[in-house]
A and B are shown apart, each in its own frame.
Chain A
Amino acid sequence: MSEEHNPEQGNRILEVSLGATTAEGGTRERVYTVGGAGTFPFLGAGPAAGHPPRIALEICDDTRTWSPIVLREVGDLAGDTGAWAAAAETTFGADMVRLFFTSTRQRGFDDFASLGTTMEEVIGATKYPLIVEGSTEPGIDSEVYRRIGEAAEGERILLGTAEADRYRSVAASALAYGHALVAQTPIDINLAKQLNILLHETGLPPERIVIDPYTGTLGYGFEYSYSVMERIRSVALQGDADLARPMISSAIDSLNVKEVREADPETADEVAIRWEFYAAFSALVAGAEIVCVRHPGTVALLREALPALQEGSHPQEEAYGDESA
């Protein structure tokens, strides 16, 4: 019997809690715990099954680089970040919103005040835990992450993204304002391990780290990402504590690939949804605890499929019951 299938071995993925209720100093109506599984995804029963995976809808504060297919679908919402975030939870049925501060990725960005404002707006508009992505430019990282972290203080957001050569600003903000953090490395199990060790040295507790092994899009590197997720899960269950963390997966370039971009306008939505779905669904099967997509239609399709993968009839609801305030 191979080790990863032996539940007696007792190795579990660490549990990470996202969101904070009023009692805990935040304003969320739900708190999610992700991780906890002691087997490969959806194979375990009882406690070894771990917590249900979560589906996040990605939105942004500056839509200039966002897929026109999604923008057409969400219409006016794209101009109102708060309303878009609220719709993600209510209309589109996502478990959570992943807000990208894409405005910070424009050359010469300096409107730092807007970050706090937008952050507060989105917090006010939503009830569930949040994932928030800041800048990718070392020169402004420290200011950006400070503003976002501060505005979300107490909410225990999942803040991203830390990378090996630029993690200090994100980690500092997560530490100062009590957030969890996304640790991303490019499709390599050893790099993932190293980054977690580096982060450990910043003093950030392991139960506040979610691994992002980087997801290449379907047809454009997904095969590597799928296997790296399986490998991470496998060594984690064999006892490698540095990798026994929940994983987040977002095939971020899905809507930019040739097959989607060049799809016939009449079927573009269908193609976009399928391209995202096949990667996100496969990531769940490989071990991702949080999957992120951009087209609302993909959320619906994932929502429908998830219960059929899980033990029992309504595991999602049960989990909410256990964990809500």
Chain B
Amino acid sequence: MAMKALDIYKLLPKTNCKKCGFPTCLAFAMKLASGKVDVDLCPDLDEQTRELLGGATRPPIRLVGIGAGERSFAVGEEFVLYRHERTFYHQPGLMMQVADTWPGERIERIMTRVRDETFHRVGEDLSVDGIAFRCESGDADQFGGVVGMVEACASLPEVVIADDPEAQAAALAHCGNFQPLIHAACADTVEAMCDLARKYGCALAVRAGDLEELKRLVGLCRDRGIENLMLDPAPATLRDFLVRSVEIRRRAVERTDPDLGYPVVFDTVPIDLPDAATALGILKYAGVIIIDELAPSSTMAALTLRQNIYTDPQKPIQVTPGLYPVNAPTGSAPVLMTVNFSLTYFTLLGYLEAAGIPCYLFIVDTEGMSVLTAVAGGKLTETVVADAIKKTDLENRVDHRILIIPGYAAPLSGKIEEETGWEVRVGPRDAAEIGEYLETGWEA
């Protein structure tokens, strides 16, 4: 079970010596309780206390890294079952599979897609994270050859899927030094797979449909010194995955079963419901999701879902309020007022840049609320606008006194005019119409 700060404090030396980097033992205890620091930072603990506190305060799910270089990612280090309890920290990696029996062109096409395809949303570039190689030929040389071919043209995080340690060895000879995930060890192969994981220092997935067996495999790996592990609950249906993954996460975050404190791998390919399985993996705690080739329409939706689920539910993503020039405006350019919610800003910016009309985006602080939400929740008011005009020194930055407000803020237009003395024009509701609106003479 997780410990409270005061209980942790009782076990610390209480000398406030600051060697841990915190001003007092209590401050350190509080950080420990929230799972934010490692107990080893305090050098003055006896072995027993260190172990006790470590078990109770280390993140309940181990952080496991996959891949090397720019696209590498880490998963695990999660603390809760439901994102409203806190937030989810490490989004799952989506790994698109290629099989070693496929024609070279098909493999190359997928590799190129994973390497180059990105999709831009709310200031972020979203993309599939890496490649999963599946050994279908049963032939170590063939498998190694395919891995080598892809390895030569892309540096992407990888999963090597082969039950046969020899095929694994052949693949790892090409990519082992780039931290791929080895997938997967089962009862018969655990020893050989551990040897490979040790040789290349990469993460290893263990696979079993039964949680007790998974735990046993974890124990065997740990006995061999392999700690960078992931769990594949070998689901045959969506429900299998849901039930098993939820149970693993629950026991891990409640710290009732430390052997299940590892991120989960979801191989969606055998289930044959690509969209549903990908969505379920994103929602229900997968750390790595192995997918078949999904059409761009699917990856776009899946990556958007992932972005949604992995934002902090307590704080909307915000941009800094202020005056933002778009398309190199001069002092006579129109001023478009909007809110500081990232989604609103980026949506608007996209349309304005596409329209190519010089203007200023005048962003007021609505605490990250969208236009309608801010109007409904009282976060966008005439005083907020008046304050923002002062703060940005708007009067001296443009040589007119006309403010264009969003269509959805129309109810505020009179009040804003009164409070600020600026002339208010109500723009369209939909940002898609903004180019046309500005072109057909906002100055009127």
- Using CB atoms and an 8 Å cutoff, list the residues of chain A in contact with chain B: 1-2, 5, 40, 42-43, 186, 218-224, 226-228, 230-231, 234, 258-259, 261, 263, 267, 270-271, 273-275, 277-279, 281-282, 285-286, 301, 304-305, 308-311
Is B347 a contact of A258 with CB atoms below 8 Å?
Answer: yes
Decide if A309 touches B84 in the complex (CB within 8 Å): no
Q: Is the CB of A223 within 8 A of B301?
A: no
Specify the main secondary structure of chain B where it touches its partner: helix
B301:A42 contact, CB within 8 angstroms: no
Give A186 to B243 CA distance when docked, in angstroms: 30
User: Are B280 and A285 interface neighbours, CB within 8 A?
Assistant: yes
| Interface check B83, CB cutoff 8 A | yes
Contact mask for chain B residues 369-380; partner A; CB cutoff 8 A; 1 contact, 0 none: 010000010000
Can you name 20 A-B residue pairings with CB atoms under 8 Å?
Answer: A2-B254, A43-B243, A219-B343, A223-B313, A224-B313, A226-B308, A227-B83, A230-B83, A258-B432, A267-B295, A267-B297, A270-B295, A278-B305, A281-B276, A285-B280, A304-B276, A308-B237, A309-B237, A309-B276, A310-B239
Quick check: A282 and B246 within 8 Å, CB to CB?
Answer: no
Residues of B within 8 A of A42 (CB): 239, 242-243
Instruction: Name A221's closest neighbour in chain B (CB-CB).
Output: B370
Check A43–B246 contact: CB distance below 8 A.
yes
Inter-chain contacts of B250 with A (CB < 8 A): 2, 5
Residues of chain A contacted by B273 (CB below 8 angstroms): 304-305, 308
- Among B81, B273, B300, chain A packs the most CB atoms within 10 A around the CB of B300
Say if the beta carbon of B333 comes within 8 Å of chain A: no
B381 within 8 A of A: no
Over the window 329-373 of chain B, the binary record of Cβ atoms lying under 8 Å from chain A Cβ atoms (1 yes, 0 no) is 000000000000001000100100000000000000000001000
Distance, CA A310 to CA B309, complexed state (A): 23
CA distance A82 to B276 in the complex (A): 31
**Bound Cα distance from A1 to B307, whole angstroms:** 29
The answer to whether B308 and A305 have CB atoms under 8 Å apart is no
B8 within 8 A of A: no
C-alpha spacing A5/B243, complex, angstroms: 12
Chain B residues, CB < 8 A from A1? 254
Interface residue tally on B, bucketed by range: 35 or more
Chain A residues near B237: list those with CB within 8 A.
Answer: 308-309
**A-contact 0/1 string along B304-321, CB 8 Å cutoff:** 110111010100000000
Pick the contact of A227 from B82, B296, B305, B350 — CB < 8 Å?
A: B82
7 nearest interchain CB pairs?
Answer: A305-B276, A223-B308, A274-B301, A270-B297, A308-B238, A278-B301, A227-B84
Q: Is the CB of A271 within 8 A of B246?
A: no
B residues engaging A (CB < 8 A)? 81-84, 121, 237-239, 242-243, 246, 250, 254, 271, 273, 275-276, 279-280, 283-284, 295-298, 300-302, 304-305, 307-309, 311, 313, 343, 347, 350, 370, 376, 432
- Specify which chain B residues have a CB less than 8 angstroms from the CB of A259 in the assembled complex: 300, 304
Contact A309 B238 (CB under 8 A): yes
A230: nearest residue on chain B (CB-CB)?
B82
Q: A226-B283, A274-B298 are in contact. List 7 more A-B contacts (CB 8 A).
A: A2-B81, A227-B313, A231-B84, A281-B280, A285-B283, A305-B238, A308-B237
Q: How far is the CA of A277 from the CA of B313 in the complex (A)?
A: 22
- Given that A2-B250, A258-B432 are contacting pairs, would A305 and B84 also be in contact in the complex, using a CB cutoff of 8 Å? no
Q: Do A223 and B309 form a contact, CB below 8 Å, given A267-B296, A277-B275, A308-B239?
A: yes
**What is the minimal beta-carbon distance from B119 to any residue of chain A, in angstroms?**
9
Most A Cβ at <10 Å: residue of B295, B297, B343, B432: B297
- The CA of A227 and the CA of B87, in the complex, are separated in Å by 11
**Which residue of the partner chain A has the closest CB to B347?**
A258
Shortest beta-carbon distance, A227 to chain B, in Å?
Answer: 4
CB distance from A125 to the nearest CB of B (A): 31
A219 to B126 alpha-carbon distance, docked (Å): 13
What CA separation (Å) do A234 and B83 show in the bound complex?
Answer: 12
The answer to whether A281 touches B242 (Cβ under 8 A) is: no
Report A-chain residues with C-beta under 8 Å of the C-beta of B239: 42, 308-311
Q: How far is the CA of A230 from the CA of B283 in the complex (A)?
A: 11
Nearest CB in chain A: distance from B346 CB, A: 10
Complex Cα distance A305/B279, Å? 11
Chain A residues lying within 8 Å of B296, measured Cβ to Cβ, are: 267
A contact residues around B370 at 8 Å (CB): 221
Which B residues are in CB contact (< 8 Å) with A277?
275, 279, 301
| Whole-angstrom distance between the Cβ of B252 and the nearest chain A Cβ | 13
B119 (CB) vs chain A CBs: closest residue: A259
Chain B residues closer than 8 Å to A286, beta-carbon distance: 283
Q: What CA separation (Å) do A67 and B173 show in the bound complex? A: 53
Closest to B236 in A: A308
Point out the residues of chain B lying under 8 angstroms from A311, CB to CB.
239
Q: Give the residue among A43, A230, A259, A308 with the most B Cβ atoms within 10 A.
A: A308
